[in-house]
Structure 1
């Protein structure tokens, strides 16, 4: 949820309080772009679970309505969406949309069509600029893909994060002195790839570490993406537990090495770099 979303939800909350109405958010699962580009979907920034947890933590939304985006929904006309979903199902009285919002079959619905509906008031939220650029999910994806975590996190107002359940892996890390937490990734394409300095929220508290997000080309021939984090000064059992990985800084792109000793030597350098960064961060925050 980037800063544009956060400003929008605060505005919605203010309007709801003034009208003595609850706040509600309508979202789709899967994302419409995933539905229409199944062979090459855009990178998913967050899971539905993460999205709901973030919204709950914000305290700005009373209800979230998740609509299954399927062929029937994709074929719904803009006018039917207004009458069947907004008026009949949600009983909308005030609607706040983004300034580029389009909806309905062939994306024919827009602000003008919504404004013509007498059942509710419609307003469009102006764009929110962050460092001179319009805050948007597309821009967050671009910054993450480029490895520019500082810019991505500025757009988000916090560190980018991925949460998931800890799964059993190949257990290669423990044999080379770097046991890892293997986090299940529910989506095929992550928004970022490489080796990163991270902090991981666990049932035992937040732990610093170094993480790899990619296909592990040196030790695996699979094209499946994997998120593996080595936690510093930690030896607990996290299997089956949910953890949240916060990405703080990208160290490098993923690489293929000729042999295991070369990979281990690079992991040692990555861990040292991550230690140095986390130590400097702790000093700044002290």
Structure 2
């Protein structure tokens, strides 16, 4: 299981290590093309695979007005990295003080806690004050400290690089199928189920209300065909994102109706995968009209999921 460490590792915390640095938001296909060789090479060398990341996203500190919402929360990111087989995630709390560190000073802090034998970085990755920590810098440093440096090429799809910002734009437009092509999986929210207003149950469609993590990117208000993972099993679902306009709601909710499932989900951790947008959120003139549409939504979700 991937171990998580907060702050620079303590002296001698890690032995021989193969490492990378970056935000890795979304752990998308481009990230995976870097991480899989990193992890595989570390195993062959009997070394630890280590990802050094930052929380919050550096841009949220350096340019708060343009703080990007997270494709993956830290817990979601760690969950995905664990599935890839990564050994360690080192989370550096990103502060103005960290931002002021030179690339050399940043690396010296890492050297105290790990024996870096190999670094793998993205083609355009830069770190340290003034963005001076590039591949050329690392190669010079590696020559003195005994580690090699590999640069993973940028992955192109649809004539454009795969990037977290490109995926965010697609999710924000509700284009979850297009986002899935770049992610290598459906976009998802993994969270615990909390108590809601029980409107769905009253309407004949009991839903699981997901707790929304601050700064998590939520797709636009709409109804989505979805899949729902519960305790290792996957079910079909129809998921509503919105404010319950028919009832005059003013709180954003993410509510998943799980097909062919009838059990208590409160306080349980579930994963909702967004497969396809079905329709926009809408205010209905009456509760029966809403119920009829919900029934159609469920049938449309079944149809789409049967072919996905």
TM-score (norm 1): 0.88
Q: In the alignment, what sits opposite 1:205?
A: 233
Structure 1 residues 140, 83: CA separation in 2 closer, same or farther (over 3 Å shift)?
A: same
Q: In the alignment, what sits opposite 1:123?
A: 150
Q: In the alignment, what sits opposite 1:238?
A: 265
Q: In the alignment, what sits opposite 1:91?
A: 115
Alpha-carbon deviations, 1:221-275, whole Å to 9, x = none?
A: 43x5321011122221010110011111111232344554443333232222112
User: What is the CA–CA distance in structure 1 between the aligned matches of 2:238 and 2:262, rounded to whole Å?
Assistant: 15
Residue 46 of structure 1 is aligned with which of 59, 68, 72? 72
Matched, 1:5 2:14: no
User: What is the CA–CA distance in structure 2 between the aligned matches of 1:256 and 1:39, rounded to whole Å?
Assistant: 32
Unpaired segments ≥5 residues, structure 2: 1-26
SS in 2 for 1:25: strand
Matched, 1:279 2:303: no
Structure 1 residues 42, 257: CA separation in 2 closer, same or farther (over 3 Å shift)?
A: farther
Structure 1 residues 115, 167: CA separation in 2 closer, same or farther (over 3 Å shift)?
A: same
Residue 82 of structure 1 is aligned with which of 92, 107, 121? 107
Q: In the alignment, what sits opposite 1:284?
A: none
Which has the larger displacement, 162-171 or 253-262?
253-262
Deviation at 1:137, TM superposition (A): 1.2
User: What is the CA–CA distance in structure 2 between the aligned matches of 1:256 and 1:269, rounded to whole Å?
Assistant: 16
Deviation at 1:204, TM superposition (A): 7.4
Matched, 1:135 2:162: yes
Q: In the alignment, what sits opposite 1:186?
A: 213
* Structure 1 segments of 4+ aligned residues over 6 angstroms from their partners: none
User: What is the CA–CA distance in structure 1 between the aligned matches of 2:204 and 2:57, rounded to whole Å?
Assistant: 40
CA contact (8 A) 1:201 1:244 kept: yes
CA contact (8 A) 1:188 1:225 kept: no
Matched, 1:251 2:275: no
CA contact (8 A) 2:57 2:68 kept: no
Alignment coverage as a number of residue pairs:
278
Deviation at 1:199, TM superposition (A): 1.0
Q: In the alignment, what sits opposite 2:183?
A: 156
Matched ranges for 1:27-66 at <5 A: 27-39=53-65, 41-59=67-85, 61-66=86-91
CA contact (8 A) 2:50 2:89 kept: yes
SS in 1 for 2:224: strand
User: What is the CA–CA distance in structure 2 between the aligned matches of 1:11 and 1:184, rounded to whole Å?
Assistant: 35
